[in-house]
Amino acid sequence: MSAQNFTISYETFDGIEDLSETDKILCLKAKNALASSFSPYSKFKVGTAILLADEQVVLGSNQENVAYPSGLCAERVALFTIGSNYPNAVIKTMAITAQTDVFKIVNPITSCGGCLQVMIEVEKRQKLPIEVLFYCIDGQILKVKSVKNLLPFAFVEDRLER
């Protein structure tokens, strides 16, 4: 037996004003995506903005359903939109944010395991890292340079691609 360790690299920013202009705009677009969230059950809105290599931005928001498993997270809404409408697009950066009137969000929210699995599959397919910004409105932002930093034990089975 041997013990193993992971080191996860990420950057923190105290506020949106500390970001590059491109990242700042992407975070604000993620915030704008909150307007299309359909979240009457949780009251927890999530918005995503994805910057493509051609500088186009695709938005997504969480879409709930009274039968909870039938809903979909903002990240997957945006990623599946890209897969359907821009199948050869390369993703550079994703910005994800959340908002609720039920309580104050004081830390950046991060993606669920299902979204991380989809994100890592897209990153693997495009053979380029995807930067991810977790944006707490009026608060801290976390930035990772690759989805691999978020899901070190991602399910990848190359034999299924044959």
| Residues that are catalytic | 75
Amino acid sitting at position 149 = N
Q: CA-to-CA distance for 155 and 24, rounded, in angstroms?
A: 32
Q: CA-to-CA distance for 27 and 17, rounded, in angstroms?
A: 11
